[in-house]
Amino acid sequence: MAKQYSRTQRIGDQIQRELAILIPQEIKDPRLGLITITGVDVSRDIGHAKVFITVMGDNPPEVIKENLKVLKDTAGYLRMLLGNAMKLRSVPSLHFHYDESITRGAHLSALIEQAVSEDQRNTESDGE
């Protein structure tokens, strides 16, 4: 049985693919780091799109805020480029948000590895 995707999901996926190409090619701001678009949520009326991004590397909050500011400032230009690339009657307004799930996942993985290594050390010391 085939999965059924709503129109907003398909539009969100297409916006994600297009922005992944457009941002590195068209935005030449030196403050902008290596951006990865992790997801796009489009509202039901296709008027707004939340674009979730991550910034490659271990960056302080100031760098993340600067990247979001650059993307916010170029949202209108990116929307125009999306309009040229996509066959939509109206292109949603773009709202950029930082996706903390990658950072949170890496932190949890590090905590799990630390707990496992401590547990192994405890069992090795008990066995002696």
Domain boundaries, the chain: 7-99
Q: Classify domain 7-99 by CATH architecture.
A: 2-Layer Sandwich (3.30)
Tens-digit pLDDT profile for residues 57-98: 777 888 889 999 999 999 999 999 999 998 888 899 999 999
19: pLDDT strictly greater than 90: yes
The predicted pLDDT at position 52 comes to: 95
Q: What is the DSSP letter of 33?
A: -
For residue 8, the number of C-alpha atoms closer than 13 Å in the C-beta half-sphere is: 12
Lowest mean pLDDT, pick from 15-19, 34-38, 51-55, 121-125: 121-125
Strand 48-55 and strand 35-42: the pairing is antiparallel
119: pLDDT strictly greater than 70: yes
1: pLDDT strictly greater than 50: no
Taking alpha carbons only, the member of 16, 35, 28 closest to residue 86 is: 16
Strand 48-55 and strand 93-98: the pairing is parallel
Query: Band of the pLDDT at 127, cuts 50, 70, 90?
Result: low
- What are the angstrom distances between the C-alpha of 59 and each of 12, 65, 103, 127? 27, 10, 10, 42
The predicted pLDDT at position 112 comes to: 92
Q: What is the DSSP letter of 91?
A: P
Contact between 11 and 88 (Cβ < 8 Å): yes
Give CA–CA dist 110/31, Å, rounded. 29
Pick the more confident residue, 87 or 25.
25
The predicted pLDDT at position 57 comes to: 78
- CA 81 to the chain's CA centroid: 19
